[in-house]
Structure 1
Amino acid sequence: MTSERTHGRDRIACIVGTRPEAVKMAPVVLELRKQEWAEPLIVTTGQHGPVVGEVLSCFGLRADIALTPPRRSESLPTLTAQLLHQVDGCLRGARWRAVVVQGDTTSALAGSMAGFLSSLPVVHVEAGLRSGDLGNPFPEEAHRRMIAQVSALHLAPTPLAESNLRKGGLSGEATVVTGNTVIDAVVLAGRSPAAARDQLVRRTETIGAPVVVVTAHRRENWGEPISRISRAIAELSRRHRELTFLVAAHMNPSVRSAVESELRGLPNVLLPGPVAYAPFSRLLSRARLVITDSGGIQEEAAAFGLPVLVTRENTERVEGLEQRVARLVGTREAAIVAAAEEELAGGHGEFALPPRPNARPNPYGDGRAGERSAAACGWLLGHRDRPAEWRPEAVNERSR
């Protein structure tokens, strides 16, 4: 896989719009910066506002090109149109060699479409995730399928993701299994000095109680499902005074209000609002249990051997289900409480898990995904041979 080279370094647009994109793109940018042939530039779309800059700073990064943030709108078509217009204008303004997008956000969709329509090769980080239901999660499942159709290089995080791409008729030659870059990111961020100095980290460490980390934000859970999740956490907090429940509320004010209205005033529930990535990573590394509807946190928790209760009806991160480090529990209060009680009691039953830390091999990566992703970009642009792929079975064999 080769393309005509230009003089000097190849300028690569790395599109970042949301907090999770900043997390998962950071290891790729850091590794691209080490390559003598590459000039990676971070292009922020403003989709998640200032929090993206805060996350990038955890890794010593900042936006090279900051686009005008989209006007606030609950309409997905309006948001998509605004972001596509902004990214298109950016790509017209310089001689780019490739566009890199991550995941399944509206910014990723806009970046991939703008790149494709500008005849630039699109690299899709975390390609091949599938839930099997086009409308769930909404709109992410549709986004990731559309991005795949216009991508020149698919960086699949796992062999299962690669298999999904093949089943969708996409060429195996254009796919490289890298592991998930979030494993690189969460370990780096949790070790940063900023994480250790954070007041919330210090407070939880001073309390000394085991921590249960809780998040809820997905669009399909807005309304009554998030209220049910919150009521389940309230019930668990009353049953387990010996635990600290850290509820990291989403930046969306309506989501945050729905969560906090059910949990405010409970003595062993911390409601810090959105938590910066570095301290969140450190808190996660010391947790006992995670209850979340986040896809990325399912993967991040696996880096620390943490069991996860997934408050969704399905998940595209099925590797965690297969390795029994994650379990789908839906959003019914009784189901969430029962599953949490089972795990907190020692995991005896269907969700039996060995004690942490690192109880099972991580099904999502080995911390070198950024390195493989940068190497694959070099292969795409004709600077090096095709890189070796990640083989999780080798990790599993060594752990036995």
Structure 2
Amino acid sequence: MRIAAVFGTRPDTIKMAPVVHALRFAAPDIHTTVCVSAQHRAMLDDLLQFFAIVPDYDLDIMTPDQSLTHISTRVLEGMGAVLAAAKPDVILVHGDTTTSTAAALAAFYRKIPVGHVEAGLRTSDRYSPFPEEMNRRLTTALTTYQFAPTELAREHLLRENVNANDIFVTGNTVIDAFMSTSKRDDLPHPKGWERLDPSRDIIVVTAHRRENHAYMAEMCKAFADIAALPSRPQLIWPVHPSPHVRPIAHRILGDVEGVVLIEPIDYAEMVAAVRSCTFVLTDSGGLQEEAPTLGKPVLVMREETERPEGVAAGTLELVGHDRAKIVAAAGELLTDGLAYERMARASNPYGDGRAAERIVGWLAGRLLGGRYPEAFRGPVSSPSSMPAP
């Protein structure tokens, strides 16, 4: 059986790396081809080296100020030649990237089945997050095999009339990657970590999403307020280079005591930072799943999350972009030991480190007649009680 794994951004490289390794471990029954789009060139290359993955095909599509239309068309065109040469029986794409949707469409045009890793995440608004929410919905429509990370994701797919026999709950592969990486003893802390006092609380911050650009100044003021709290916590923020983020962060926080603004960091440095911090304040997706693996509470600066399992399980708290709400939630975690322990000890609903193994085992069962693996069972037992998208 020939399987092609296609990815090209920082997040989906992290999440597909365990799948690539699991596929290669299954040789010779499975022949694995790796194709990268390089939608995120520099960040992709660093991660490929870190995870010891050498692509068979590199579309190298990234250009300055690339648009979503540019990414889509270049991936769609480039995948035609790759699929003709590699002749896969199945292609695997991940999540909600424009690379994944365009690659799935290219496969559909050639009647090649698509397997969607991290299928079924949903919000109630197709424009939030943008363009990720629509990307994942479109990819679902193009997919044959749906690898849902949680039971709730499976429920979303069933509501959209996806055949139940084509859905398999695996856990999230980001947990596989994070768990294995966090056990390494060679992880470097990011440059700037030495400016922090290890005897005081450390909060890791990430903030960059498009839907928060209009609120970035208020969020930065909230970070300054947190740094001024009586317990004197420290915040370290790898600032995104976006013109909607970087100038505002440096203008408001550049001279604030207790706030350390640093350049973007690589995956290994982020894992080391989370491993050593008190809690995480973020608007990203992956950290909502990753940080609870190490018992770190996560305050999510979004009005809605496509990962409500974490809210239900108690590993996440939605604080939105309101200045006062962000400060109040951070203050509670810093001063209320019981509130902190409730979040830190809550069971992570997103995986157990065996998602990639389950995906490969299920494909072998479906296409090669092997034994099907057991599905992942998370701590959230009644997904129907959560908000429907």
- Offset at residue 208 of structure 1 (A): 4.3
Select the residue among 365, 369, 379 that pairs with 1:379.
Answer: 365
CA RMSD of aligned residues (A): 2.3
1:85-104 to structure 2, matched below 5 A, reads: 85-104=77-96
Amino acid at match of 1:376: W
1:129 aligns with 2:121: yes
Corresponding residue number in structure 1 for 2:223? 233
Change (3 A) 1:198 1:322: closer
Indicate the residue corresponding to 1:79 in structure 2.
71
Residues 1:44 and 2:30 are matched in the alignment: no
Q: SS where residue 63 of structure 1 aligns?
A: coil
- TM-superposed CA distance for 1:346, in Å, is 1.4
Task: Tell me if the contact between 1:179 and 1:369 (Cα under 8 Å) persists in the aligned partners.
Answer: yes
Which among 6, 28, 32 is matched to residue 19 of structure 2? Answer: 28
Q: Deviations over 1:50-78 (max 9, x none)?
A: 11121232222233321122333353223
Counterpart pick for 2:351 among 365, 368, 372: 365
| Cα deviation digits, residues 308-365 of structure 1 (max 9, x gap) | 11111100100011012111111111111111112211166xxx342675x0111111
TM-score by length of 2: 0.91
- Provide the residue aligned with 1:391 in structure 2: 377
User: How far is the alpha carbon of 1:24 from its aligned partner?
Assistant: 0.5
Distance, in Å, in 2 between the alignment partners of 1:344 and 1:276 is: 27
1:203, distance to aligned residue in structure 2 (A): 2.3
In structure 2, distance between residues paired with 1:329 and 1:68: 38
Matches of 1:240 and 1:63, distance apart in 2: 51
- SS for the counterpart of 1:200 is coil
Match for residue 146 of structure 1?
A: 138
Q: Distance in 2 between matches of 1:97 and 1:393?
A: 35
Number of residues of Structure 1 aligned to a counterpart in Structure 2: 381
Equivalent-residue separation in structure 1 for 2:39 and 2:62 (angstroms): 7
* 2:192–2:262 contact (8 Å) kept in structure 1: no
Which position in structure 2 is the counterpart of 1:281? 271
Map of 1:1-400 to 2, 5 A cutoff?
A: 10-36=1-27, 37-73=29-65, 75-195=67-187, 197-198=188-189, 200=191, 203=194, 207-222=198-213, 224-239=214-229, 242-252=232-242, 254-346=244-336, 352-354=339-341, 359-393=345-379
Q: CA deviation at 1:33?
A: 0.9
Partner Cα separation in structure 2 for residue 282 and residue 154 of structure 1: 32
Letter of the 2:12 partner, please give it.
E
Shift in Å at residue 142 of structure 1?
1.0
Is the contact between residue 154 and residue 174 of structure 1 (CA under 8 Å) also seen in structure 2? yes
Normalising by structure 1, we get a TM-score of 0.89
Distance across 1 between alignment mates of 2:21 and 2:237: 31
Give yes or no for contact 2:207–2:239 (8 Å, CA) kept in 1: yes
Q: Distance in 2 between matches of 1:87 and 1:254?
A: 32
4+ residue segments displaced more than 6 Å:
none
- In structure 2, relative to structure 1, the CA distance for the partners of 1:253 and 1:50 (3 Å cut) is farther
